[in-house]
Each structure stands twice: as structure tokens, then as C-alpha cells.
Structure 1
Amino acid sequence: MVAKTYTVAFEGVEARTVEVQCALSEGLPGFAIVGLADKAVSEARERVRAALGALAIAMPMQKITVNLSPADMPKEGSHFDLPVALALLAALGLVPAERAEAVVAIGELALDGRLVGVAGALPSALAAAENGRDLICPKACGAEAAWVGAADVFAPATLSEAIAHLSGRAPLDPARPGLLESPALARDLRDVKGQERAKRALEIAAAGRHHMMMIGAPGSGKSMLAARLPSILPPLTPTEALETSMIHSLSGLLGEGGISRDRPFREPHHTASMAAMIGGGRGARPGEVSLAHNGVLFMDEFPEFPRAVLETLRQPIETGEVVVARANAHMRYPCRFLLIAAANPCKCGYLGDPSRACSRAPTCGEDYLGKVSGPLMDRFDLRIEVPPVAFSDLDLPASGESSATIAQRVQVARDVQTARFEGHATVRVNAEAEGALLEEIATPDAQGREMLTKMAAKFGLSARAYHRVLRVARTIADLDGEADVRQPHIAEALSYRITAMAG
């Protein structure tokens, strides 16, 4: 006798169904789970046995074999508990087999029969919809999974409620999506005294999603500026919110089913491993670059990160996705993030400060920033120096534009780009434009082209740097409300590269 229900194995933010088959046969009583499974899956038989016992359901005196198909796909995690229990109950005739076959199920079983929340409910609901099935998941995951909207999601609190629903004795109402969390009150750029050039660079970075490097002495305000970048970013669009939430769902970072419109802001410590940054470890989970998808990845003390970790950023920056390759799995995660890096000018941090003479200048600065390779540094569209703020400026009242004012300009520039790239599936902002599309939207006027050509030859700009200057100039023109890229836009875009190179 064979009954079927389904659970989900994750591959990136996509999902594939795993068929759970339960067979009762003659032989010595026993309960075995077969297929490539980790310890958590193998121990499901004990949790299922205890949960059924709590419901006064006796295990049959027969050999019980639960097969997770396809057998060559590695399975791990406690989310297989519920489908294993439902397959067994269908085999026993306690749940209609046809109802069990019509659902995707995920959930961990407590020993008393309660259903415990698991990670990945959002992509599970998407897989259920793609397979034309409903989803049964723990109550704690229902509000999250219901955001997909293309499949009915039923969220029982206990195994007994799941049984009653499938048997038709007490049908459950479909779960409703959780509350859409409003953007949190962010820190205001107006709190930053001085640093007007850095604020302008942040505005350009936010408008076109241009990667930015800040170099300055300790205490000059680099981290303070970066922490206020979310306050000028536009909220996530519904599509972006779902994309980002699916990745966070895989990592168990969504709370109470709420999907936030805030853009992610991730700031890993410089001791983070390659697996933590790029993804990997047990189950090849998403790394920081993917958790920052559609948001900001802030890397303070940039040269202090291991060289191997820094070099792995080069491809994700260009392609907007990362492939975590393991012997038994290849996971593909999106990672369109805005990289903001901060670094001291040298090991001691005070290179160029006349009041703090350094016996190793300028060698100490060259050695320290030399930890960042040229190809990686070339991928920063904006590179600025953040000078120390004078003590006299710290006593002045807050001045300058507020984050709300800057955010309005950024939103207008983003709206222009949304209209410009409508119909281009892989391009959303100026930083992603390339090839013929970039030439079409960012060809400068004659004076601008002449300036760019001369400066590129004088400072030895690479072809990548040349095109990145064009992208930044296009964003500056958008912020100025101009349709064409002119010489002043080229000049400002060049200043964010040539000034840093000359220094």
C-alpha cells in the first residue's frame, strides 16, 4: 500500500517537490526512512512516532518504509516531518490518499503533536502553486506563505488539525498574508556635520545603484554616512519585496509572516568567512551578498577582509547572481546589491594628517590599500575621500538637506530609470546598462566626449572604468532632470575617479 504527499527541497530561491511515499509490508515491525537524508531527516521517524502517540494513534505492527524520491537528491532539515506523518496516515487510511496527494506539506513536529515553524515557507508556496497544489504548513509560517497568493495556504497549529482538515471533518480557512511592514524610521543625513561631497556621492549611488568606496581617517564619519544610506533609498517595489523575502525566508529571517518594504542593509564583520559572504555551509544557504539583494551591503574596514573573500565579490558585482557550487548541489542565488565600502587610508589611519607624522608614509598607505586588488577597485563607480570634520563644525547646529528631501530626488531619478528600462528584463537601473543600451542612453555631447577621451588617456582608465563613468554621468543627468548627458555631468562623474586616483 503506497500513499503520497509532498514536501519541498530548495534550490536557490526556486523549489522542487520531493515525493514522500509510505509503504506498509509484512515483516518485522520497524520504521525506516530511505533516501539521501541527514540526521534531522532520519530522526523524523522518532518525532513522528511520538506525535502520533500523543494523538493516541497506534503504529501498525508492520514494516514501514518511507521513501523520499528522487532518492539521489540530498534532503536535510526538519520540514520533512509533516509530509512523512501525512503519508503514513494516508497509508493507514486515516487521511484520504487523494487529499494527501493534492497538497505540498512542510513542517516540523513537536513530540506532543504541535507543528513548529520552519524556514522556506515562501518558496514552498511558490512550488505548490507551480504544481497546482495547496500548501499545508505550520501556523507560524502561514502568514508568510500566503503572500504568494497563487495557491491556497492552510496553516494548522497541530497535527490533529491537519488531519481534521484533510479528512474533511474540520476544514481550515486559508491563511491570510501578514501585515506589510512600513519602512522603519531611518537615521537622517542631516545629522552628519559637513561632508557635503560625500552626501552628494551617496545620493548618486542611491539613485543609480553605483558601488562606492569611502577612504578617510578614523572618526571622519564613513560608517555614519553609510548607516544613513537606507534613509534616501526608495522602498522596495512589490516584485522586489517578494524576491528579497524569498531569500530571507530560506534563511529563516522573516518574522511573523510580515514582508518589509525596507531595503536590506547588511554589514558583515571583516572576520566573515567566504561561506558567510558568498553562501555555502550546510545546505549551501544564501550568503551576505544574497541577503543584501535589492539593498545595501556595507563592508567597513574593507582591506581587513580576507583577500580570498574580497576577490569572490568581483563576479557577483558584475552578474548580479552567485552560484554556490558543492559536490552534491549547485545553488544559484540573486545578489543585485549596492556595495558601500569604507577604509582607512593606511594601517594607523592617519596618512596625510600633518599632526600625526608617520615614519612609513607613503609606503604604509600603499601597502594597506594594496590589499584590495586593482580589478576589484575598478568596479567601484564612486571613490571619494572623507576628510576629518573640524571640531568647530561639530558645535554648529544641524544644517543641510534632510534625508526626506534627498530621497524625493532619488525617487524621481529611479522613476525615470524604471520608464527608460521598461521591457528590459535584466536591467532596472543605470548601473546595469551595458553595450548598445548604454551607448543609446548615455552618449555625451561633443564637449563631454572630448573631456572623457582626454581624461581616460591621461589617467589610463580601463574600458570598464570608461563605461562606469558614463553610467554615473547618466545618473547625474537624471538627478538634474536632463534628458541628455552633457559635459558637466561627465566632469562630475570623472571627479569621483580621478581625484581618488591622483591621491
Structure 2
Amino acid sequence: MYSKTKTCVLNGLNGYDIDVEADLSTGLQAFNIVGLPDLSIRESKERVKSAISNSGYFLPPGRITINLAPANLKKDGSQMDLAIAVSLLLAIGVIEYLPDEKTIFLGELSLDGRIITFDGALPMIISLKELGFKKFFIPQTIKDEVNIVQGIEIYPVSHLKELVDCLNGITEIKKEEIINVNLDEEVKYDIDFSDIKGQENLKRAMEISAAGGHNLLMVGPPGSGKTMIAKRLPTILPKLTFDECIECTKIYSVAGKLKNNKLITQRPFRSPHHTSSPISLVGGGKIPKPGEVSLAHNGVLFLDEFPEFSKQAIEVLRQPMEDGKVTISRVNSSITYYSNFVTVCALNPCPCGNYGSQTEKCTCSQLQIQRYLSKISGPILDRIDIQVEVEPVKYDDLSSKEVLETSFDIRKRVEKAREIQLKRYKNEKIYNNASLSARQIKKYIVLDEKLEKIIEFAFKKFKFSARSFNKILKLTRTIADLDGSEEIKEEHLLEAIRYRSLSNKYWS
């Protein structure tokens, strides 16, 4: 007795259709699963047998073989349980209706026959839709995660018996309605830029960072507002587009961090603790999962107390910060996750935090300060576009009754600058100034003779690297966009140079 059904396996964010073949033959009683299954799939035979039994059906004695094809692709994940059970029930004649080739079964089985949730449903279904599959039987609990995918039929099921009765034509499972997502509604935040007293220079730097997608580093004493303002950066970033929402939701789905199975419509903000390991930052594990750099995709990765991170943890950020993606390699395969984020780093100028203070005495030795700051290497500093020194908040600013600018007001300017960039780069595969390549910089950023002399002088004085030179040009372009000017002016360039000169004070 033979039958076949279809399911899916994930490799990173890409789903692949899998044939689940069931064969029942006479012989000594056995239940074998072949086709490069991992431990979670090898264990599924116990879940499947119990689920079938507790749903009122019985497997005949004999030899059962389940083949997962193609055999050269490693399979993992409990989502194959449902397809295995349906294939077995087809083979023994309990299910009379043979699903067509374009029907996919996804779901983990509990011992009592309930069909329960699993990680990675959205990227699986999107990938399979692109492969031409249209009909999906999924757990009832994840319908809100996948009912945003247009052009498919989704049938949410809560129990194995319910599915069997549906396939046999006894009952009917209502098709899930596909919804159109409305992203025009204003995203509500509990925090706002109007909460911040003073720090106008830092606010300006944050606005430039948001407008161009630039990485930012803050150096200042404890209590000066570095963490407070960093947490408010997402409130001035442009609203997520639908494609960006899908990208973020796919990552969180694979990571098992999707709350209430809802589409992510807010810019992610990730703030890992400084004790985080390199693997927790970039992702990994036996079955590679997304790390913090991927969970921050299309949002903000905030690294507070930056020098307190291990040297190795800091250095693994190089590739994701530069490429906008992270690749996790294993012996049999490599997996790539998105990691296009704005990095915001905050640190004290020394271990005690008072180095350079006019009011407090620094208790650190020169060697301690050097060791503390040396954790941040030149290549990492080169990848941070904006460097800002944060001063303590003045009493006059704290006690001021002045009505301060809101995040909404700042975001309007940021969105206007982003619109200029989108229009300018409509024929390129980039969306902001921070993503410009060296070739694109030459094409889109033109300096007159006077500005060329200014940047040449700064290059020699501050001993900028080639990467820093390009960062200055990108910053200049963003500052001009915020000013609504297609022409780059002297004040735009001078402001950009100022944001790149801090490393000479602390790391020269």
C-alpha cells in the first residue's frame, strides 16, 4: 500500500517542497523514516502513531516506511507530522480522497491528535506559493500569521479527525479569508522625542541617521541621555513598507519570536545585553536561527555599553554592518538571513565615565582608558558613519517649560528626505544614502572645486581612511537631502566632517 503527500522544509528563509511517501508492507513490525531526517522528524513517528490512535484510527501491523524526498536535502522541523499522518491514512484507506499535487500539509501533531503550531510558517508558504502551490492545510493557531499572502487558499484545522472528515467529504473546513493589510494607520509609540530635554546636537545627529540609514556612535558620561534617545530612534524612522513588514515577519517567524502570530508593522528595536555571545548576535546553532542582527532587520540594533561586549562579539558585526546580510555556514549548506539595520552604539569615555568632564574627576589611569577604548577596533569605527560626543544635560534645559519638537514632526522631515532618495535611486537596487557603493558615490555625489579642497584638507588633517572618506560623502548627501537641496553646499560638507572627527580625540 503506497501513498504520497506534500509538505515543506526550510533552509534559512527559503522553503522547499518535500514529497512524503508512505509504504505499508507485510513483515516484522517496524516504523522507519528515511531521507535525511533530523532528530525532530525521527521522533515524529511516535507522535504520529499516538495521534492516529487517539483520533480513532488504527495502523495495521507490518512494516511502515516513510520516505522524505528529495533524499539529498536535510530535513528538520516538526511541521512534517501532519503530512506523514495523512500519507499513512491514505495508504491504509482511511482517507479516500487523494489530495492533488498542489496541496500542502503543514503542522505538528500532539499525542491526542491536535494540530499545533510550528516555527517558520510564513516563509514556507510564501516560498511554496512562488513554486506554484495554492492550497494549504495549516494549524488553526497560525492562520493570522499567513492570511496576508495573496493568491492562495488557506484551510485552518485544529484536529486530525477534523481534517480526515474534510478530505472524505463528510464535513467542510471553512477557507480562511485573505486580508489586505492597512499600513496607513499611524504607528503608536509610548515614547517620543519631546521627552528629551536639551541635547540638540544629538537630536540632529539622530535625524540625519534616520534620514540616510547611517550608523551612529555616542560617547558621553553616564546619565547624559544616550540610552533614552537611542530608544526613540524608531519613532522617527519612516513607516515600514509592506515588503519590509513581510521581511521582518519572516525572520521573527523562523526565530519563533512572533507575538500573537501578527504581521510586524513597527520598526524592530533590539538591545542585546553586553554579555551576549557572538552566536547570539549573528545567529547560529545546530539548526541555524536568526541572531540579533537579523531580528533588527529594517530597524535599530542598539549596543549599549559597547566596549563591555567581548572583542569577538564586536568583531563579528563587521560583515552584517557592511553587507546588510549575514551568512551562517555549515558543512552541508550555508544559510543567509537579512541584516539591514541601523547600528547605534553608546559608550562612556572611560571605565568610570568621567574622562574629559569639567565637573567630575576621572579615577582611571591612562592604561585603563586605553584598554577600555581599544576594544573598539579601527575597522568597526570605520563602519560607523556618525560619531557624536554627548555632554551632560544642563539644568536650564531640564527646567525649561518650552514645548519641544515631537517625533512626528521630525519623522515628516525624515520621510521627505527618504522620498528624495527613493526617487534619485529608482533605477538602483538601493533605498537610502548609506547603501551607496563606491561607483554610485561617484555618480550621485558631485563636489565643486572649493568643496574638493575642503575635504582634501580634512582627509589629510584627520588621516581618514578610504571608507571614512566615502562615509563623509554619504553623510553630506543626506544632510543636503534634509535641507531639500540637490546641490551639496559648504555647510553640508562641514557638518558631515564634524561627525567623523571624534575618533581622532579618543582613538588616535
Q: Same fold (TM over 0.5)?
A: yes
Q: Which amino acid aligns with 2:326?
A: V
Question: C-alpha deviations, 1:208-227, integer Å up to 9, x for none?
Answer: 10000011111111000101
1:489 match: 492
For structure 1, which segment, 278-287 or 72-81, has the greater mean C-alpha deviation from structure 2 after superposition? 72-81
User: Is contact 1:299–1:341 with CA below 8 Å preserved after alignment?
Assistant: yes
Distance (whole Å) between structure 1 residues aligned to residue 6 and residue 191 of structure 2: 46
1:185 match: 189
2:201 match: 197
> Equivalent pairs: percent with the same residue?
39
Question: C-alpha deviations, 1:94-122, integer Å up to 9, x for none?
Answer: 33564064322221111221111111110
Q: Which amino acid aligns with 2:455?
A: L
2:479 corresponds, among 473, 476, 480, to: 476
Distance (whole Å) between structure 1 residues aligned to residue 335 and residue 99 of structure 2: 32
Q: Which amino acid aligns with 2:267?
A: R
Alignment of 1:298-377 (within 5 A): 298-377=302-381
Q: Which amino acid aligns with 1:123?
A: P
Distance (whole Å) between structure 2 residues aligned to residue 166 and residue 199 of structure 1: 60
User: Is contact 1:476–1:489 with CA below 8 Å preserved after alignment?
Assistant: yes
1:50 match: 50
3-state secondary structure, aligned to 2:21: strand
Distance (whole Å) between structure 2 residues aligned to residue 402 and residue 102 of structure 1: 51
2:392 is the alignment partner of 1:388: yes
2:257 match: 253
Distance (whole Å) between structure 1 residues aligned to residue 479 and residue 462 of structure 2: 22
2:16 is the alignment partner of 1:12: no
Q: Which amino acid aligns with 1:283?
A: I
Cα separation, partners in 2 of 1:260 and 1:180, compared to 1, 3 Å: farther
Unmatched segments (≥5 aa) in structure 1? none
User: Is contact 2:306–2:346 with CA below 8 Å preserved after alignment?
Assistant: yes
1:263 match: 267
1:239 corresponds, among 230, 240, 243, to: 243
- Distance apart, 1:66 and its partner CA: 0.9
3-state secondary structure, aligned to 1:155: strand
Alignment of 1:30-179 (within 5 A): 30-96=30-96, 98-99=98-99, 101-133=101-133, 134-177=135-178
1:273 match: 277
2:466 is the alignment partner of 1:463: yes
- Distance apart, 1:24 and its partner CA: 0.6
2:440 is the alignment partner of 1:430: no
Provide the TM-score with structure 1 as the length reference. Answer: 0.95
User: Is contact 2:13–2:251 with CA below 8 Å preserved after alignment?
Assistant: yes
User: Is contact 1:444–1:487 with CA below 8 Å preserved after alignment?
Assistant: no
Question: C-alpha deviations, 1:32-65, integer Å up to 9, x for none?
Answer: 2223333322221111111111221011122111
User: Is contact 1:54–1:112 with CA below 8 Å preserved after alignment?
Assistant: yes
Q: Which amino acid aligns with 2:437?
A: E
Question: C-alpha deviations, 1:146-194, integer Å up to 9, x for none?
Answer: 2221322211111122223333333323323577686232411111111
3-state secondary structure, aligned to 2:177: coil
1:217 corresponds, among 199, 214, 221, to: 221
3-state secondary structure, aligned to 1:129: helix
Provide the TM-score with structure 2 as the length reference. Answer: 0.94
User: Is contact 2:15–2:125 with CA below 8 Å preserved after alignment?
Assistant: no
3-state secondary structure, aligned to 1:99: coil
2:414 match: 410
For structure 1, which segment, 336-345 or 162-171, has the greater mean C-alpha deviation from structure 2 after superposition? 162-171
User: Is contact 1:164–1:170 with CA below 8 Å preserved after alignment?
Assistant: yes
Equivalent pairs counted in the alignment come to 502
User: Is contact 2:97–2:167 with CA below 8 Å preserved after alignment?
Assistant: no
| Backbone CA RMSD of aligned residues | 1.8
